[in-house]
Structures are given as structure tokens and as C-alpha cells.
Amino acid sequence: MRVVIVGASGNVGTALLRRLRQESGSELVGVARRLPGPGAGEPYDGVQWHACDVGAPGAADRLATIVSGAQAVVHLAWQIQPSHDRRTLYRTNVEGSRAVIDAVVRAGVPALVHASSVGVYAPGPKNHPVSENWPATGVAGSSYSRDKAEVERLLDTVEREQPGLRVVRLRPGLIFQRDAGTEISRYFIGPLLPVQLLRYGRIPLVPANRRLRMQAVHADDVADAYARAVLGEARGAFNVAADPVLTPELVARHFHGWTVPVAAPVLRAAASLTWWARLQPVDAGWVDLALNVPLMSSERAERELGWRPRIDAVTALRDLFAGMSRRAGTAAPPLSTDPTLPGRPAALLKARLPGHPNPY
């Protein structure tokens, strides 16, 4: 089975390569803007690699050639940074997704599995989970959420126009693994917080708000859901999350800290001010997202994909923190441990500020 993975070198792509290598007879094709170098090792070796910026002019033509003859395309490519360059993010995330969809249709690929997110949902409840029927209209204050919702509207259109194309949308919560420790530190925390202290398993102070209730899942479990979607016959949207729900109180208990109540406007203001000052890489939209996205039920994935997480959310968070504290990564550029990349302390000496530049 020939499977093309667009965005195969990132957090989820790396885990999916590990998972699909277990399937006999699978021919894996990786597409990425920046490719793993020669001798990158597992899971990148044995993959047929193609360099392609999905948001670049002519990307659909190049992608159509790459995906020709594939039984399935998995679209994972998405840019989080540089957050101060909204035009670049939209070009990659929305226009790039359009190029992937066009290429799949033109090449006659029978299945497209798309990486959506909990971030696609409209604001919802934090005291009970919702199904995939919750409105997928996004959180207005988050550009990430708006882009995810716009891409799902593109998928709605292609489903109507191409009924023979099997479209699957996975909507996971936060995705953690050890190897993504450095990447997530760079993308979401920046160079100033001493993440090395996490190796002691302590977070002294945890901001608390009644709506800071989030769901997470280990990358290996997400990869298993993608593999089941690729290899099966399912269609439609699937929530993917592990228990328990991560609350400030739960995190403080497991990591020996204390909760500090913080009002939502204060959280937003702190994120906005520090982002504009280039002290950290994420804008206030991420606070809006965290406060507003609903909790999700994964019952449909369990029922129709036969998927169940093997790793609970707290263990997944521990795995991430271990990777962050030890600067874990891989030989793939998105997961690189290069100390001069934006978001790392050494990058400040080269005037590479959080949220700048592209490529991140």
C-alpha cells in the first residue's frame, strides 16, 4: 500500500512513520518543506522523500505528481511559527491545504486523511464532552482556530463534489511525545523560561482558571488513529483524546506545585504583552483557544476505528516534560535540537527572536 504523508518530518509525522513501518507491504512516501538529511536514521530511513513547500506557487502540480498512484494521502503539514508573520502561516496552512486537496483530486487518490484539531470547534462546555457534531466554526480570537475551520470548509466542499473520495478528519487534543520536547519549547514557550528545571518533576506555580481544562494524547496513540483511518474504510470526523482531562489542580498535584488563580483577562493581557515584546512566541489567541474549546468525546473513534489510547494524558505530559528538560529531538528539521534556532536561548545572540523568522 502506497501512503503519502505530507508533513512527515514533524511531531505527528514522525510518530506515524514509526507506526506504519509496522505494516507489511507499506510503501511510505514523505513530503516536507525541509527534509531529514542522509543518515537521519529511524523512522526516516526507508522512506521515499520529496521536498515541497505546499504553500508555494505551483505546489498543487508538484504534489499531484508525488501522490499519483497512492492509496491514501495523510495531510499533516501545518505551520505554527513564525507567529508574527500571519501571511506566511495562512499561505501554508490554508492555501497549502487547498493545494494538497487539489492534488489528491487530480491524481485520483481514493482516500485523504486530514489533520484537524480540537481547535476547529466553536466555544463549548468544559464540564462534559461533546461529539463530532459540535459546530466546527472555530474560536474567533484564534487565527490557528480560524484557519483550521476554513480548511474543514474546503473539505466539506470536496466531499460534496467528489463523493467517491473517502475523507477522514482527525481532531486530536494536545499531542505530546518526548522527541517533540525541543520543538514544543521553541514553538510555544521560547528561550527565557528555564525548562531544564522540569527534569526534577516540579512546576512550582500553575496558573488556574475554571476554563483551563484541556485534553491531551500521546503522539504514538494519535499515530495509531491515523494508521487505522488509512488502513480502514471510515469516513468523517473523529475526536482523539486520552483521559484524564488536564486541569490546573491535576497538573499541580502530579508535579508538586501550587495553583495560582488568574482571571482570563489577565492571562490574555500577559500573553499579548509578552508576545508583542518578543519575549515568547505565542499570541493571546492561544489563551482564547485554551479557554474556549470544548472537551471532546472519543467514543466514535473507539467504536468505528477500534481505537483506544494506550498512554494516559498525565503520562503523555510527563513524557513531553522529560523531552523538554533534556532538549530531546530527532534528526528531522522540525524536531531539531540546534541551539541557534529561533526559540532557543542561543538564538538571541544572533538576534533571532521568538516568533521570527521563516523558516522557523
Q: Write the pLDDT tens digit of every residue in 302-312.
A: 999 999 999 99
Flag whether pLDDT at 101 surpasses 80: yes
CB atoms within 10 A of CB 45: 14
Tell me the pLDDT band of 44, cut-offs 50, 70 and 90: very high
Flag whether pLDDT at 22 surpasses 90: yes
Q: Which residues pair with 212 in a beta bridge?
A: none
The confidence score (pLDDT) of residue 230 equals 98
- Arithmetic mean of pLDDT, 111-133: 98
The confidence score (pLDDT) of residue 358 equals 81
Return the beta strands (E) in 219-308 as ranges.
236-240, 242-246, 258-261
Tell me the pLDDT band of 196, cut-offs 50, 70 and 90: confident
The confidence score (pLDDT) of residue 2 equals 98
Give the type of residue at 298. Answer: S
- Arithmetic mean of pLDDT, 183-196: 94
Instruction: Describe the strand order of the beta sheet including 236-240 as a list of residue ranges.
Output: 48-51, 27-32, 2-6, 72-75, 111-115, 166-172, 236-240
Q: Helix, strand, or coil here: 308?
A: coil
Flag whether pLDDT at 178 surpasses 80: yes
Q: Which of 121, 231, 237, 242 is nearest to 177 (CA)?
A: 242
Share of the chain above pLDDT 90, in %: 95
Flag whether pLDDT at 357 surpasses 90: no
CB atoms within 10 A of CB 345: 12
- Give the model confidence (pLDDT) of 259-309 as tens digits: 999 999 999 999 999 999 999 999 999 999 999 999 999 999 999 999 999
Contact 208, 278 (CB under 8 A): no
Domains of the chain: 2-174+218-241 (3.40.50.720), 177-215+246-293+311-350 (no CATH)
Across all residues in the chain, what is the average pLDDT? 97
Q: Which residues contact 286 (CB under 8 A, 6 or more apart)?
A: 142, 144, 188, 271
- Arithmetic mean of pLDDT, 102-107: 98
Q: Which residues contact 209 (CB under 8 A, 6 or more apart)?
A: 248, 261, 262, 263, 264, 267, 291
Q: Helix, strand, or coil here: 273?
A: helix
Q: Which of 242, 289, 250, 317 is nearest to 118 (CA)?
A: 289
In this prediction the pTM is: 0.97
Q: Which of 24, 32, 116, 17 is nearest to 66 (CA)?
A: 32
Q: Which of 124, 240, 202, 116 is nearest to 167 (CA)?
A: 116
Flag whether pLDDT at 359 surpasses 80: no
Contact 221, 11 (CB under 8 A): no
Place of cell 508555494: 56
Q: Which of 316, 116, 115, 302 is nearest to 216 (CA)?
A: 316
Q: Which of 165, 257, 152, 247 is nearest to 208 (CA)?
A: 247
- Arithmetic mean of pLDDT, 213-241: 98
- Provide the grid cell at 254: 502530579
Flag whether pLDDT at 118 surpasses 90: yes
CA–CA distance, 144 with 78 (Å, rounded to integer): 10
Q: In 223-242, which positions are buried (b, 16+ CB within 10 angstroms) versus exposed (e)?
A: bbbbbbbbbeebeebbbbbb
The confidence score (pLDDT) of residue 186 equals 96
- Arithmetic mean of pLDDT, 327-340: 96
- Arithmetic mean of pLDDT, 59-88: 98
The confidence score (pLDDT) of residue 161 equals 98
The confidence score (pLDDT) of residue 360 equals 84
- Arithmetic mean of pLDDT, 24-43: 95
